[in-house]
Amino acid sequence: MDKQVVVTKLNKDFTWEKDPIFEHFMFHKTEKVVGDCDDFALTLLYRLEGSVWKALKALLTGKASLIFCRTTNNENHYALKYEGKYADNIHPYFRDELIHKYKYKYRFPFILFWLLVGKLVKR
């Protein structure tokens, strides 16, 4: 499936909501998604890859990255880098440039940690 079609569909299905207590990550497998920017990025990856295991493999192999950045309003934010292109819930389309101010790429072990926290703390 075309990745632009996938990000457009997720944008229609997505409702932004702040994490209730503290940061945690989740792959949302439902059609409607309520979450924040990391939920958008990881759910986009899940939908592109078709399974959690394939999404994790994409993160591990570098096909995909979770990018921590700052918005133009100087707020913390996450974006997905997938096959060399960026997408996020603020700019829900794939593009060559991040647009936001790059801080760092989240390393795989940290993503796993926050996914485990997400299993314990559900919305």
Question: What is the pLDDT confidence band of residue 34, given thresholds at 50, 70 and 90?
Answer: very high
- The CA distance from 107 to 119, in Å, is 19
- pLDDT tier, 39 (very low <50, low <70, confident <90, very high otherwise): very high
The CATH architecture of the domain made up of 3-120 is Roll (3.10)
Q: The tokens of 93 are what?
A: 């389309």
pLDDT category of residue 107 using cuts at 50, 70 and 90: confident
Residue 88 token pair: 């996020």
What's the distance, CA 30 to chain centroid?
A: 15
Report domain extents, the chain: 3-120
Report yes or no: 17 and 107 within 8 Å, Cβ to Cβ. Answer: no
The region of weakest confidence among 13-27, 43-57, 80-94 is: 13-27
Residues in the chain: 123
Q: Indicate the SS3 state at residue 67.
A: strand
> What pTM was computed for the model?
0.90
Query: Structure tokens of 1?
Result: 């499936």
pLDDT of residue 122: 64
Instruction: Give bridge partners of residue 70 from the DSSP assignment.
Output: 76, 101
